Amino acid sequence: MKRNVLLLAFLAAGCARAPYASGEPQTIDEPEPDDVASVLFLVGDAGDASIDGSPLFHRLRRDVERWSAALATDSAVTVLFLGDNVYPAGVHDPGSDDFARDTAHLGAQAWTVDGPEALRHATRAIFLAGNHDWGNMAGLAGEERLRNEEAVLAGWASAGRYVSLRPAAGSPGPVVVQAGPATVILLDTEWWLQADDSVAKEGVIEELEGALLAAGGRPVVVAAHHPIESLGPHGARRGAGLGSLLGRAGALVQDVNSAPYRELTEALTRAFREADRPLVYTAGHDHSLQVIHTAGPGQPAWTLVSGAGSKLTDVSDGPDLEWAAAQPGFMRLVVLRDGGVQLFVETAPASTLSCPAGEELDPCMLRGLAAYRTVYSARLR
């Protein structure tokens, strides 16, 4: 027994990578609004936060209002919620004990585009599906949770809010939306991890290739819940430990090392190689902020992991990692009128992730809101 315990400890440790330690981050100046065509906010895994207890939502709403007013053009500002919008198991059926809590989590995110300037200029919040939105269930049971989320968002949309679930529940995508000069391609990668229809999967890849080719020379952002590369706990670079072995055996479907996940990343890589690689692939899933710069025809130029909306997990170091933080925050892509694209990352200390109810709530929220800073920025194109 003792020998088995030692073996498991060795496997769990494997060749674990050192934690990432950022040096002095690079920054660029904020652009003038007259030079900006559109803005995309990237927020993932925000489904465990509330309006009252999340400084992040208040900072995000303030920034959305500022850019909506500055650009003053319909749909020039878009917020992409990158999946896991409702923890722990998606939106339960109306009338259930959990429905009010689930809709409150979803509503807290929709609130960020509910300000007067955002409504005046049709600022959009697009929600993508994550594994928790599927209730961590496959087939019809998981799809029903996703349809519940879609129905709640559709009800708010009919009341005048610009919110939607894309792709639609049960559809893998791709769905193409325009954000000024940029083309945004949306995928439901959890559909892929659960599906066993090889013909349907090949159809998804063919449509993705078509969307990439149709974008021509415009900057392309592919958005989904699952990253194709990550230095967090779900990533492929955790070494040869127990987690890696379990993943390859199919026990951890949500990890990059699992067979279904490897099939997904290989298919995406093939599409990027056969058509044209996107400028950005953005996702959540790992609860951190990561800026990864890669080269080669089968890889996006930049992989942006923005999954620190309501939970935090560690980040390891890696050769392609430009910058990372295990802190609450979100990313902002600024698309310039000349076709350039700039990235700005907003974070605050980990202690500001959430504020407890009670006497300390208001002071905590004020401290958290004031703590947000642009800690990394760069021109991506």
- What is the spatial distance between Cα 73 and Cα 180, in angstroms, rounded to a whole number? 10
Mark 52-84 as b/e (b = at least 16 C-beta within 10 Å). ebbbbbbbbbebbbebbbbbeeebbbbbbbbbb
- Looking at residue 255, what is its pLDDT? 86
10 contact partners, CB below 8 Å, separation of at least 6: none
Q: Of 167, 42, 174, which is closest to residue 112 (Cα–Cα)? A: 42
The rounded distance, in Å, linking the Cα atoms of 305 and 186 is: 15
Distance CA 208, CA 324 (A): 29
Tokens of 115: 């300000």
Quote the pTM value: 0.91
Nearest to 104 by CA among 23, 62, 50, 158: 50
Q: Where are the alpha helices (DSSP H) in the chain?
A: 2-13, 55-71, 99-110, 116-120, 139-158, 189-194, 198-214, 242-248, 259-274, 361-371
The CATH code of domain 37-227+277-379 reads 3.60.21.10
Query: Splitting the chain (381 residues) into consecutive groups of 10 residues, what average pLDDT does each group show?
Result: 42 53 76 97 97 96 98 97 97 97 97 97 98 94 97 96 97 96 97 93 96 94 96 70 46 82 94 93 97 89 97 91 95 96 96 86 91 95 92
Domain ranges for the chain: 37-227+277-379
List the structure tokens of 342. 């700039």
- State the Cα–Cα distance between residues 335 and 233, nearest whole angstrom: 31
Q: What pLDDT score does 249 carry?
A: 42
